[in-house]
């Protein structure tokens, strides 16, 4: 009996017929949720085959490998309780993990808190760029939640709506934070570009709702006007844009509820260089179901795009179980499926 897992990571056994049925249901779920095209019979059969392979670790044919970019790069190893500085962290990504890119980031991983320490951040980033070869991003989240009370100056829209029932007030607060976010994102990105960044990574975009996405699109536009050659990677927070405002548009398109194949078109229009879609994992569904659903969405995103797509995969997104210690059997099946079926440009 083939061994697989639940979206939670729990090990389970499923028959080939059960795996096939779950994969078909996962594809159907993507079609139903996002209105995307289903996978072909050949693609579904290949997904079934990948899940029935007995090997724990599977891989791609030579020449079919994908490149990788990351979020939170130079603060990842600190999280493992390793006492390490950010430059050494980036060098380990480059020379030990042999990553295709590295990323430099502030420990808070948001644009707003970087602003007051920008000079120190520039200097250390410049040092990192002088002792590395791989392309290096500067990454942070728009994280518009930081502009709301109690840490920010604006009334929290959720509180305003739930306690006061004042939708207009909540919406106005969201609209103001968009402009605040754009200002900080452009300021920090400009400074880090001037410090030598190969690219800027807007990560976890949309975590605070569609205002977060709008701020990232506007910041991209402004940065592209200033530096036409700047590389901007935009990685999303979840599979659809949360409608916290409900009536927020970019170039005439309402942002609430957009799925990856729709998000990428706006990102491209704004000037994004590399787009990173997300598909969330359901922990009470199997890995075959989750991976089939993710691959269906990502494939649709790639087909809608003319810029490179780096699929978000790991710890609860893109078909990888929701766990801080993702199992290699699941991550390698995900990687192969993303390369062979979704035909991603990177992870």
Partner 1 sequence: MGGMRTAGDLVLRMQMTRAMRLDEAKKYVADKLGVTVEDLSDNIKMDKIRRKRGLGRIRPAVNEVTDLQAKANIAELLDIKINSVEKFGF
Binding site residues, partner 1, CB under 8 A = 62-63, 65-69, 94-95, 97-101, 126, 129-135, 193-199, 229, 231, 273-274, 306-308, 344-346
Q: What's the min distance (Å) between Cβ of 202 and partner 1?
A: 14
For partner 1, the closer CB: 196 or 246: 196
Partners of 306 in beta bridges: none
Nearest-approach distance from CB 61 to partner 1, in angstroms:
9
Question: Which token pair is 3?
Answer: 């061994």
Nearer to partner 1, 82 or 133 (CB): 133
The least CB distance from residue 103 to partner 1, in Å, is 12
Please, which residue, 61 or 163, has the CB nearer to partner 1? Answer: 61
Q: Of the candidates 208, 161, 139, 199, which has an alpha carbon nearest to the alpha carbon of residue 180?
A: 208
Cα–Cα distance, 242 to 250 (Å, whole number):
15
Q: What is the DSSP letter of 162?
A: I
Task: Say if CB 245 and CB 171 are below 8 A apart.
Answer: yes
Compare residues 133 and 162 and give the one whose CB is closer to partner 1.
Answer: 133
End-to-end Cα distance, the chain: 30
Angle, CA 66 vertex, CA 64 and CA 69 arms, to 5°: 175
Least separation in angstroms between CB 102 and partner 1: 9
Q: Is the bond preceding residue 150 a cis peptide, omega within 30 degrees?
A: yes
C-alpha neighbours within 13 Å on the C-beta side of residue 187: 18
Residue closer to partner 1 by CB (options 44, 267) is 267
The minimum distance between CB 82 and partner 1, in angstroms, equals: 20
């Amino acid at each position: 009996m083939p061994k697989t897992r639940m979206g939670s990571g729990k090990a389970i056994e499923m028959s080939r017929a059960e795996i096939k049925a779950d994969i078909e249901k996962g594809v159907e779920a993507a079609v139903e949720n996002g209105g995307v095209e289903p996978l072909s019979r050949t693609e579904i059969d290949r997904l079934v085959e990948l899940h029935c392979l007995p090997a724990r670790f599977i891989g791609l044919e030579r020449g079919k490998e994908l490149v990788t970019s990351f979020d939170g790069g130079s603060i990842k190893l600190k999280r493992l309780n390793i006492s390490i500085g950010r430059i050494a962290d980036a060098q380990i990504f480059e020379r030990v993990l042999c990553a295709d890119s590295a990323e430099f980031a502030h420990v808070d991983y948001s644009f707003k808190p970087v602003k007051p320490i920008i000079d120190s951040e520039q200097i250390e980033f410049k040092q990192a760029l002088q002792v590395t070869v791989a392309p290096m991003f500067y990454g942070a989240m728009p994280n518009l939640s930081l502009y709301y009370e109690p840490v920010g100056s604006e009334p929290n829209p959720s509180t305003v709506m739930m306690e006061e029932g004042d939708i207009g007030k909540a919406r106005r607060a969201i609209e103001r934070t968009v402009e605040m976010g754009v200002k900080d994102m452009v300021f920090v990105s400009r400074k880090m570009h001037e410090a030598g960044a190969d690219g800027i990574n807007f990560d976890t975009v949309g975590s605070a709702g569609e205002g977060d996405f709008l701020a990232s699109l506007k910041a991209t536009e402004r940065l592209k006007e200033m530096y036409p050659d700047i590389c901007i990677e935009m990685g999303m927070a979840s599979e659809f844009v949360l409608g916290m405002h409900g009536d927020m548009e970019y170039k005439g398109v309402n942002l609430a509820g957009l799925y990856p194949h729709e998000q990428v078109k706006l990102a491209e229009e704004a000037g994004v260089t590399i787009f990173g879609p997300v598909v969330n994992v359901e922990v009470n569904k199997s890995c075959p179901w989750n991976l089939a659903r993710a691959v269906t969405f990502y494939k649709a995103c790639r087909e809608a795009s003319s810029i490179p797509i780096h699929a978000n995969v790991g710890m609860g997104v893109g078909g990888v179980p929701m766990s801080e210690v993702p199992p290699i059997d699941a991550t390698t099946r995900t990687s192969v499926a993303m390369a062979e079926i979704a035909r991603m440009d990177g992870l």
